[in-house]
Structures are given as C-alpha cells and as structure tokens.
Homo-oligomer: A and B are copies of this chain.
Amino acid sequence: MDFSIRAANLEDCKDIARMIMELAEYEKVSEHVKVTQKDLEQDGFSKNPFFHGIVAEVPEAQRTKDGHVKIGYALYFLSYSSWKGRCVYMEDLYVMPEFRGKGIGKALMSKVAQLGMAAGCTQLNFTVLDWNKASLDFYAAQGCSDVTASLGYHVMRCEGAERGEAWPNTIEDRQ
C-alpha cells in the first residue's frame, strides 16, 4: 500500500482529534476524552509544545468512505530517565482499522524512534492496556519489552477533576 508519513501541522489537529476519539472508542474510554481540537492546536503547536505529532496519509484514490486521507498518527514527547538519560515517550499510536496490517503502524513507530534517536534518546517508552492482545503482540514483534510484567513497574496517577482543585492531598501542606 502506498502511504507517506510526515510531521503533523496545525491543520492536522482536526483529523488527529477525530482519530484520538476513534482510539478512545477502541480502548472503551471515549467518555474520558477531554482534549479538543483547539487544545491540540494550542498544546502541540505553540512556542514550547507539550507534544509532537506525525501523521500517515494515503493517496486520494485510497481515501476512506468518509473522505479521509489522514489514516494514522502518533503523538510523542521527549522525556527523561534519571538512569538512562534522554528518552522519547510515545503517547499514542493509531491506524484506522481498514488500513492495518500494511506496515503503517510499524512505519509510524519507527519514525518516532528515529526522531528520538536524532534528539539523542536511547529509549522509547509507552503504555499498553493488558487486555489489548493485538497491541501487545505487535509491540513484542517490534522487540519491545513489558517492564510491568518483568520488573514490576506500576503506573501511578494523581488528578484534579477541575482546575484549581488540590491534588495530591499534600498540596494543602504548603511550605
């Protein structure tokens, strides 16, 4: 299949927002998605972006029945390990179902890894839900290891439902 991968730009935020929602529906968590197209524009394309994106496109002749040519994406940001140094974190990797099995996911992931390496990163990190066998198999085939299974890493989270709400509890203990 003919496809291309390029850096995302401001105009891609509409399609990225669409595909984020498709991915959330697949992961059965669409009611948890708060990010909007406008958030993506502001947070990904300002002077100090919170993330970067890449988009996979197919030629017009292969567009979806709804007319989409942007059929996959990945979001990533630079991060740090106090043991290993510079890392890249892949927040999302998604290809629309009808375009899977054609190397597009592998190519997107490879591009994130390349961009990370170009920035001096030696590690690519991300998370997968344990029931998502198709993804676990895909990532194992790419040579990734599950460090929750092998080393016992647990992902922890503190959040405030609304801006200004104290989180974690300790925020009351102001110095």
Write the residues of chain A forming the contact surface with B, with a CB cutoff of 8 angstroms.
3-5, 20, 23-24, 29, 32-35, 39, 43, 50-51, 75, 77-86, 89, 91-92, 103, 106-107, 109-111, 113-114, 117, 120, 122-131, 136, 139, 141-149, 151-160, 163-164, 167-171, 173-175
Contacts and interface: CB of A to CB of B under 8 A. Distances in A.
A26 to B, nearest CB: 13
B143 A154 contact: no
Given A32-B83, A39-B85, A123 B170 contact: no
Contact of A124 (B32, B85, B120, B159): B159
A144 to B, nearest CB: 4
A109 B175 contact: no
A117 B78 CA distance: 20
A167 B148 contact: no
A111 B40 CA distance: 26
B127 A168 contact: no
Interface centre among A80, A85, A164, by most B CB within 10 Å?
A: A80
Contact of A125 (B148, B151, B157): B157
A84 to B, nearest CB: 6
A82 B24 CA distance: 9
Given A50-B86, A152-B130, A144 B157 contact: yes
